[in-house]
Amino acid sequence: MANLLEANCLLCRQKSDVFNHLNDNELDRVNGCRVSIKYHQGEVIFKQGSPCHEFVCVTSGLVKIYLEGEGDRKIIIGFARPVDYIFVPGAFSDKRHHFTAVACEETTACLVEVDIIQELLRSNQQFASGFLTKISEQSIRLFDQLTSFTHKQMPGRMADVLICLAQKIYQSNPFHTSLSRQDLADMSGMTKESAIRILKTFKDDQLINTEGNTIEILNMAMLETISRNG
Protein backbone atom coordinates (compact mmCIF):
# COMPACT_ATOMS: atom_id res chain seq x y z
CA MET A 1 0.00 0.00 0.00
CA ALA A 2 1.38 3.34 -1.02
CA ASN A 3 1.66 6.13 1.49
CA LEU A 4 -1.77 7.68 1.46
CA LEU A 5 -0.50 10.96 2.78
CA GLU A 6 1.44 11.47 -0.38
CA ALA A 7 -1.26 10.33 -2.70
CA ASN A 8 -3.26 13.51 -2.79
CA CYS A 9 -3.48 16.90 -1.19
CA LEU A 10 -7.14 16.33 -0.43
CA LEU A 11 -6.32 13.43 1.85
CA CYS A 12 -3.32 15.18 3.27
CA ARG A 13 -5.41 18.18 4.24
CA GLN A 14 -7.04 16.22 7.01
CA LYS A 15 -3.74 16.34 8.80
CA SER A 16 -2.57 19.85 8.10
CA ASP A 17 -4.32 22.84 9.57
CA VAL A 18 -3.31 25.56 7.12
CA PHE A 19 -4.69 23.70 4.13
CA ASN A 20 -8.04 23.23 5.76
CA HIS A 21 -9.02 26.61 4.49
CA LEU A 22 -8.65 25.64 0.84
CA ASN A 23 -11.61 24.20 -1.02
CA ASP A 24 -11.32 21.09 -3.19
CA ASN A 25 -10.83 23.16 -6.29
CA GLU A 26 -7.94 25.07 -4.84
CA LEU A 27 -6.39 21.95 -3.40
CA ASP A 28 -6.59 20.35 -6.80
CA ARG A 29 -4.51 23.18 -8.19
CA VAL A 30 -1.90 22.62 -5.51
CA ASN A 31 -2.09 18.89 -6.04
CA GLY A 32 -1.60 19.30 -9.77
CA CYS A 33 1.73 21.05 -9.48
CA ARG A 34 3.17 19.46 -6.40
CA VAL A 35 6.22 17.26 -6.53
CA SER A 36 6.77 14.61 -3.90
CA ILE A 37 10.39 13.93 -3.02
CA LYS A 38 12.02 11.35 -0.82
CA TYR A 39 15.00 12.43 1.27
CA HIS A 40 17.50 10.26 3.07
CA GLN A 41 18.75 10.98 6.56
CA GLY A 42 21.05 13.98 6.59
CA GLU A 43 20.04 15.25 3.16
CA VAL A 44 19.54 18.95 2.71
CA ILE A 45 16.05 19.94 1.60
CA PHE A 46 16.94 23.57 1.19
CA LYS A 47 19.91 25.62 2.23
CA GLN A 48 20.18 28.95 4.00
CA GLY A 49 20.98 31.70 1.51
CA SER A 50 19.72 29.88 -1.55
CA PRO A 51 16.81 31.28 -3.58
CA CYS A 52 13.47 29.91 -2.49
CA HIS A 53 11.31 28.63 -5.30
CA GLU A 54 9.09 26.15 -3.51
CA PHE A 55 7.15 25.74 -0.35
CA VAL A 56 7.87 22.50 1.43
CA CYS A 57 5.31 20.36 3.16
CA VAL A 58 6.61 17.39 5.13
CA THR A 59 4.47 14.29 4.65
CA SER A 60 6.57 11.71 6.47
CA GLY A 61 9.72 11.62 8.57
CA LEU A 62 11.23 14.51 10.47
CA VAL A 63 12.95 17.68 9.32
CA LYS A 64 15.19 19.89 11.42
CA ILE A 65 15.38 23.59 10.67
CA TYR A 66 18.44 25.51 11.70
CA LEU A 67 20.29 28.76 11.36
CA GLU A 68 23.86 28.49 10.17
CA GLY A 69 26.39 30.72 11.83
CA GLU A 70 30.10 31.23 11.35
CA GLY A 71 32.21 28.10 11.32
CA ASP A 72 29.96 25.07 11.54
CA ARG A 73 27.87 26.38 14.37
CA LYS A 74 24.14 25.82 14.08
CA ILE A 75 21.04 26.82 15.99
CA ILE A 76 18.10 24.50 15.56
CA ILE A 77 15.02 26.71 15.63
CA GLY A 78 12.42 24.08 14.97
CA PHE A 79 11.25 20.87 13.38
CA ALA A 80 8.69 19.93 10.79
CA ARG A 81 6.75 16.69 11.13
CA PRO A 82 3.92 15.22 9.06
CA VAL A 83 1.95 17.13 8.01
CA ASP A 84 3.74 20.40 8.59
CA TYR A 85 4.24 23.07 6.10
CA ILE A 86 7.59 24.87 6.54
CA PHE A 87 7.02 28.58 6.70
CA VAL A 88 9.75 30.37 4.80
CA PRO A 89 9.83 34.07 5.66
CA GLY A 90 12.11 34.81 2.72
CA ALA A 91 9.23 33.94 0.39
CA PHE A 92 7.61 37.25 1.29
CA SER A 93 10.67 39.46 1.33
CA ASP A 94 13.94 38.76 -0.44
CA LYS A 95 13.11 35.37 -1.97
CA ARG A 96 15.97 33.73 -0.13
CA HIS A 97 16.02 31.01 2.46
CA HIS A 98 17.07 32.24 5.87
CA PHE A 99 17.55 28.84 7.40
CA THR A 100 18.52 25.36 6.31
CA ALA A 101 16.20 22.35 6.36
CA VAL A 102 17.66 18.86 6.69
CA ALA A 103 15.97 15.46 6.93
CA CYS A 104 16.69 13.84 10.30
CA GLU A 105 15.51 10.46 9.03
CA GLU A 106 13.89 9.03 5.90
CA THR A 107 11.54 11.81 4.92
CA THR A 108 9.08 12.59 2.17
CA ALA A 109 8.02 16.12 1.35
CA CYS A 110 5.87 17.83 -1.23
CA LEU A 111 7.25 20.84 -3.03
CA VAL A 112 4.78 23.42 -4.30
CA GLU A 113 5.78 26.46 -6.30
CA VAL A 114 5.80 29.68 -4.33
CA ASP A 115 3.71 31.43 -6.96
CA ILE A 116 0.80 29.05 -6.57
CA ILE A 117 0.69 29.51 -2.82
CA GLN A 118 0.96 33.26 -3.13
CA GLU A 119 -1.87 33.28 -5.62
CA LEU A 120 -4.00 31.33 -3.18
CA LEU A 121 -3.04 33.70 -0.39
CA ARG A 122 -4.34 36.51 -2.55
CA SER A 123 -7.59 34.87 -3.53
CA ASN A 124 -8.47 33.05 -0.31
CA GLN A 125 -8.43 35.30 2.71
CA GLN A 126 -9.12 32.49 5.17
CA PHE A 127 -6.04 30.71 3.92
CA ALA A 128 -4.08 33.94 4.27
CA SER A 129 -5.37 34.39 7.77
CA GLY A 130 -4.31 30.87 8.72
CA PHE A 131 -0.91 31.66 7.32
CA LEU A 132 -0.66 34.82 9.36
CA THR A 133 -1.46 32.84 12.48
CA LYS A 134 1.18 30.27 11.72
CA ILE A 135 3.85 32.87 11.10
CA SER A 136 2.89 34.63 14.28
CA GLU A 137 3.20 31.47 16.31
CA GLN A 138 6.61 30.89 14.80
CA SER A 139 7.64 34.38 15.87
CA ILE A 140 6.41 33.77 19.38
CA ARG A 141 8.41 30.56 19.57
CA LEU A 142 11.48 32.51 18.50
CA PHE A 143 10.87 34.97 21.33
CA ASP A 144 10.88 32.09 23.78
CA GLN A 145 14.04 30.64 22.32
CA LEU A 146 15.79 33.98 22.39
CA THR A 147 14.83 34.46 26.04
CA SER A 148 15.85 30.93 26.94
CA PHE A 149 19.22 31.25 25.17
CA THR A 150 20.01 34.64 26.64
CA HIS A 151 18.72 34.39 30.17
CA LYS A 152 18.95 30.74 31.13
CA GLN A 153 22.03 28.73 31.78
CA MET A 154 22.73 25.31 30.40
CA PRO A 155 20.61 23.12 32.70
CA GLY A 156 17.56 25.32 32.12
CA ARG A 157 18.08 25.32 28.38
CA MET A 158 18.52 21.57 28.22
CA ALA A 159 15.44 21.07 30.37
CA ASP A 160 13.51 23.19 27.85
CA VAL A 161 14.76 21.02 25.02
CA LEU A 162 13.90 17.73 26.68
CA ILE A 163 10.41 18.90 27.62
CA CYS A 164 9.86 20.18 24.10
CA LEU A 165 10.96 16.89 22.56
CA ALA A 166 8.75 14.76 24.79
CA GLN A 167 5.68 16.99 24.64
CA LYS A 168 5.75 18.66 21.26
CA ILE A 169 7.96 16.79 18.83
CA TYR A 170 7.60 13.13 19.76
CA GLN A 171 4.58 13.39 22.02
CA SER A 172 5.54 10.33 24.00
CA ASN A 173 7.56 9.92 27.10
CA PRO A 174 10.17 7.40 26.68
CA PHE A 175 10.94 8.67 23.20
CA HIS A 176 13.40 7.36 20.69
CA THR A 177 15.07 10.06 18.65
CA SER A 178 17.15 10.26 15.52
CA LEU A 179 18.79 13.39 16.91
CA SER A 180 22.44 13.22 17.92
CA ARG A 181 23.93 14.83 21.03
CA GLN A 182 25.23 17.50 18.69
CA ASP A 183 21.65 18.18 17.61
CA LEU A 184 20.53 18.48 21.22
CA ALA A 185 23.43 20.88 21.74
CA ASP A 186 22.37 22.89 18.70
CA MET A 187 18.84 23.08 20.07
CA SER A 188 20.02 24.42 23.40
CA GLY A 189 22.84 26.70 22.34
CA MET A 190 25.79 24.89 23.83
CA THR A 191 28.63 22.64 22.71
CA LYS A 192 28.25 18.91 22.28
CA GLU A 193 30.49 18.29 25.29
CA SER A 194 28.38 20.49 27.51
CA ALA A 195 25.18 18.83 26.30
CA ILE A 196 26.59 15.41 27.15
CA ARG A 197 27.68 16.60 30.58
CA ILE A 198 24.31 18.14 31.40
CA LEU A 199 22.49 15.01 30.28
CA LYS A 200 24.78 13.00 32.53
CA THR A 201 24.05 15.15 35.57
CA PHE A 202 20.32 14.84 34.79
CA LYS A 203 20.75 11.08 34.62
CA ASP A 204 22.78 10.97 37.83
CA ASP A 205 20.06 13.00 39.53
CA GLN A 206 17.38 10.55 38.37
CA LEU A 207 15.64 13.24 36.32
CA ILE A 208 15.95 11.30 33.10
CA ASN A 209 17.11 7.97 31.83
CA THR A 210 19.08 7.58 28.61
CA GLU A 211 19.79 4.47 26.64
CA GLY A 212 21.58 5.47 23.50
CA ASN A 213 19.07 7.53 21.58
CA THR A 214 16.13 6.66 23.77
CA ILE A 215 15.39 9.21 26.45
CA GLU A 216 12.88 8.95 29.24
CA ILE A 217 11.89 11.80 31.49
CA LEU A 218 11.56 10.40 35.00
CA ASN A 219 10.88 13.58 36.93
CA MET A 220 9.01 16.04 34.78
CA ALA A 221 8.14 18.30 37.70
CA MET A 222 11.77 18.77 38.59
CA LEU A 223 12.76 19.40 34.98
CA GLU A 224 10.11 22.07 34.76
CA THR A 225 11.47 23.70 37.89
CA ILE A 226 14.94 23.69 36.40
CA SER A 227 13.54 25.20 33.22
CA ARG A 228 11.79 27.93 35.17
CA ASN A 229 14.73 28.80 37.36
CA GLY A 230 17.10 29.02 34.40
Partner DNA sequence: CAGTTTTGATGACATAGATCATCTGATTTG
Partner DNA sequence: CAAATCAGATGATCTATGTCATCAAAACTG
Give me the residues that bind its own copies (CB under 8 A), please. Answer: 67, 69-70, 73, 75, 77, 89-93, 98-99, 121-123, 125, 128-129, 131-133, 135-140, 142-143, 145-147, 149-151, 189, 228-230
Nearest of 62, 43, 37 to residue 178 by alpha carbon:
62
What gap in Å lies between CA 217 and CA 166, rounded to an integer? 8
From the list DNA, its own copies, none, pick the one residue 200 interacts with, judged by a Cβ distance below 5 to 8 Å according to partner type: DNA
Query: In sequence order, what are the residues at sequence separation of 6 or more whose Cβ sits closer than 8 angstroms to the Cβ of residue 14?
Result: none
In the shown chain, the binding pattern of residues 124 to 163 toward DNA, with x for contact by CB under 7 A and - for none, equals -----------------------------xxx--------
* Contact call for residue 190 and DNA (CB under 7 A): yes
Stretch that binds DNA, among 15-23, 31-39, 78-86, 180-188 (CB under 7 A): 180-188
Q: Does 43 bind DNA (CB under 7 A)?
A: no
For the bound state, the minimum distance from the C-beta of residue 105 to its own copies, rounded and expressed in Å, comes to: 25
Return the number of the residue (22 or 199) whose C-beta is nearest DNA.
199
Q: How far apart are CA 101 and CA 112, in angstroms?
A: 16
DSSP 218: S
Contact between residue 83 and residue 113 where contact means Cβ atoms under 8 Å apart: no
Which of DNA, its own copies, none interacts with 175 (beta carbon under 5 to 8 A by kind)? none
Q: What is residue 169's three-state secondary structure?
A: helix
Q: With contact defined as beta carbons under 8 Å apart, do 92 and 68 qualify?
A: no
